[in-house]
Amino acid sequence: MASTGARGGRKRGPSIADVARLAGVSAQTVSRVSTGAEAVKPETRAKVLLAMEQLGYSPNRAARALRDGRYGSIGFLARRFDRTGEALTMDAVLRACEAEDYSVTLLSAHDTTSAEWEPAARRLQNQTVDGIIIMRAEGGAGDPLALPATMPVVVSDSRAHGRYPRVTTDEMLGARRAVEHLLDLGHETVHYLAGPEDSEPARLRTIGWRAALTDRGRATPEPIWGDWTPQSGYAAGSAFAADPTVTAIFCANDEMAFGLMLALHAAGKDIPGDISVVGFDGISLGRYSVPPLTTIRQDFPQIGRELVRMVLRQIGQTHPHSVPDSIVPLELVVRDSSAPPRR
């Protein structure tokens, strides 16, 4: 009976006006205290802080955002978030954003292949972000993002050539290092397990692999094409195991290398005795595969910092997308999966 029940509705915490009333000052003075800026007499400030404390006040971010047209948040767009590359980059981006007092909003573009992309892009514009970091957008259509020209954007690992500033690792150089490492060990040539053809980094790694072989006058065997997953690595491993000429394999990422090594093992091949394997990425579990995986390590924390730095730098610019690209270095990490070929 008591109509008191469903008084629910919005909760609406205390506002700046409530604090002002309690502290006996104007709202503006409260604002000054909460933004920290202006000159406020110490005793007034104390009164205000006390009132804030008592009411449990914290400023309303929506109102603030509306006021000055900024949201204090960066959007992170990817197709998936549970893969190593995305997860490591995201963690790094988050830490970098935190240091700048920005938050991170996740934006997903799951099936960017076709019609699904359009609503995703539309939704994107509605998001409350001051800038967007686009991660690994393989499969995206040619002209994927109809973003406002003033929206700060930085791209990692995508094929959006030239449209937006990029933070990349030198994929080609990394692939080259991997191949040269194996050649230096004495292998005649290096077989290759590639990433999906619609991925820009995969494409670049393939170019690097081929160039390294060509430069030394070695044969370039036909690569096998995977899709980044260990499953595809396993399939490739089975195929390679059937070819007795294979003594060294470069995998376009570590996860495929895991699958590949298991397949080689299952086929009775010894790593690195019969076949050497090198991966790419430097995922943490790579130290603990059997055997531990030689790989090209990407500096994900550095990538994250660069991404954030570049997107923040664009904020407020008239032509934000003119920021120069940034390249983050790579490192060869030699572990036990690579060795000289058995004579």
Partner DNA sequence: CTTGGGGTTGTTAAGGTAAACATAGCAACC
Partner DNA sequence: GGTTGCTATGTTTACCTTAACAACCCCAAG
Binding site for DNA (CB under 7 A): 12, 15-17, 24-32, 34-35, 37-41, 44, 57, 59-60, 63-64, 66-69
Shortest distance, position 27 Cβ to DNA, whole Å: 4
- Residue 31 touching a second copy (CB under 8 A): no
Q: Which is nearer to DNA, 151 or 179 (CB)?
A: 151
Shortest distance, position 66 Cβ to DNA, whole Å: 4
Q: 148 to 187, contacts with a second copy by CB under 8 A?
A: 148, 150
- Residue 140 touching a second copy (CB under 8 A): no
Q: Which is nearer to a second copy, 99 or 327 (CB)?
A: 99
Q: How far is CA 159 from CA 46, 62, 100, 143, 339, in A?
A: 54, 35, 28, 10, 34
Q: Which is nearer to a second copy, 71 or 240 (CB)?
A: 71
Shortest distance, position 6 Cβ to DNA, whole Å: 13
**DSSP assignment letter at 173:** H
* Cβ 233 vs Cβ 260: under 8 Å: yes
Residue selected from 2, 36, 39, 69 as contacting a second copy according to rule CB under 8 A: 69
Residue selected from 3, 114, 126, 322 as contacting a second copy according to rule CB under 8 A: 126
CA-CA-CA-CA torsion for 213, 215, 216, 222, nearest 10 degrees? 20
Q: How far apart are CA 313 and CA 225, in angstroms?
A: 38
Shortest distance, position 102 Cβ to DNA, whole Å: 16
Q: How far apart are CA 166 and CA 325, in angstroms?
A: 5
Q: Which is nearer to a second copy, 212 or 271 (CB)?
A: 271
Please report the DSSP string for 268-324 in residue order.
T--TTTT-EEEEEE--GGGGGSSSPPEEEEE-HHHHHHHHHHHHHHHTT-SSGGGSP
Q: How far is CA 334 from CA 152, 182, 201, 297, 322, in A?
A: 38, 10, 22, 10, 38
Q: How far is CA 113 from CA 70, 137, 142, 158, 308, in A?
A: 31, 10, 10, 14, 27
Answer with the entry of a second copy, DNA, none that 26 interacts with (C-beta below 5 to 8 A by kind): DNA
* C-alpha torsion sign, points 186, 190, 195, 198: positive
Shortest distance, position 270 Cβ to a second copy, whole Å: 12
Quote the tokens at residue 248.
């060294």
Which of the ranges 41-49, 77-85, 193-201, 238-246 carries the binding residues for a second copy, by CB under 8 A? 77-85
Answer with the entry of DNA, a second copy, none that 110 interacts with (C-beta below 5 to 8 A by kind): a second copy
> Angle at CA 84, nearest 5°, toward 80 and 89?
80
Site mask, a second copy, residues 240-269, x = CB under 8 A? ---------------x--xx-xx--x----
User: Which residues form the interface with a second copy (CB under 8 A)?
Assistant: 7-13, 56, 58-63, 65-66, 68-71, 73, 80-82, 86-88, 90-91, 94-95, 98, 103-108, 110, 122, 125-128, 148, 150, 230, 233-234, 255, 258-259, 261-262, 265, 284-285, 287-290, 292, 316-318
